[in-house]
A and B are shown apart, each in its own frame.
Chain A
Amino acid sequence: MRFAIVRFPGSNCDADCERAVVEGIGHEAVYVWHKDTVIGDVDVILLPGGFSYGDHLRAGAIARCSPIMPAVLEFAGGGGPVIGICNGFQVLCEAHLLPGALIRNRDLRFRHVEVILRVERTDTVLTDACVPGQRLRMPIAHGEGQYVADAETLAALEADGRVVFRYVDERGEPTSSANPNGSQHNIAGICNAAGNVVGLMPHPERAVSRLLGSSDGLVLFESLELATRGKVAAG
């Protein structure tokens, strides 16, 4: 299986994603430059973390105007798995592949801490190897990760079960103190209606080995493998 990792100027988690794919789950990863217009024959597209275009204007706002983005939208529209991590999540929101927006953290600080995520939904391409309610430890590293949406959108997300990950405490409760950035409803990640586009602020690619403090991120890459394998078998 082949994963495309889109590189924007300022992407800085691209190599971590590559390593997670190649060493974590043993698949092929190819880099795609933001100025390219063709993604090629791939099974998954990853939009990595970083500070694309220096976060100018709004995080992700300039990146979503990149020449590569029409190809990403087309791939997503055809049901292909598209995963945005951190800055990649911001890009997906700016590209309207996912609803809502990510604004400055509640306390205005760049937060770099380990968080606990609760998996809320296991029928997305990123979580189908998880069990419902599974808790995953992985780091966040962002200044603009506060998820916001209008009341109607938020209610629809909850009603449709499109909240994929929530920040929780040790007991698995989505408390205010477990919420590192002030996100509404402790939202750490969401998906589109079809479940093939998922965005999350935490970094699973930085939690793929015990050496890194956690290997809980691996299950998300294994989920992508499972989802893609299913699709390949069915197709």
Chain B
Amino acid sequence: MEATISYAVQVRITPRPGILDPEGETIGRALGALGYDGVSDVRAGRLISLRLEADSAEAAQAAAAEMCDRLIANPIIEDYAIQVEEDG
């Protein structure tokens, strides 16, 4: 099998709604301490980027989703969003 196209994949992982995010809450409090009023719902996540060989953008997307379900994210506590771009 020949995988022909290189894709740049970015996975954005965020705590699921309803899951406590002590880091986000702490950032929010610190922003308040700096005088930023009106800030709310601060959530802290992580960004993971990788390069992936695949036959198509759809295949890259599907492969990345499987990786997220199995390792990169923990679906019990985290949501993920995948962005796939052809890697020129």
A residues lining the B interface (CB < 8 Å): 57-58, 61, 65, 94, 99-101, 103-108, 146, 148-150, 182
Contacts and interface: CB of A to CB of B under 8 A. Distances in A.
B20 A108 contact: no
A48 B65 CA distance: 31
Nearest to A103: B77
B74 A101 contact: yes
Interface of B: 18-20, 22-23, 26, 71-72, 74, 76-77
B72 to A, nearest CB: 7
5 contacts: A58-B74, A101-B77, A108-B22, A146-B20, A148-B19
A115 to B, nearest CB: 19
Given A103-B20, A108-B22, 4 more contacts: A57-B72, A100-B76, A104-B22, A106-B22
A182 B20 contact: yes
B28 to A, nearest CB: 13
- Tell me the interface secondary structure of chain B in the complex: loop
A108 B20 CA distance: 11
A108 B77 contact: no
Contact of B20 (A57, A61, A94, A106): A106
Contact of A57 (B18, B22, B26, B71): B71
A50 B76 CA distance: 23
A81 to B, nearest CB: 24
B77 A65 contact: no
Given A106-B20, A107-B22, A108-B23, A149 B71 contact: no
Contacts of B20: 103, 106, 146, 148, 182
Nearest to A94: B74
A108 B76 contact: no
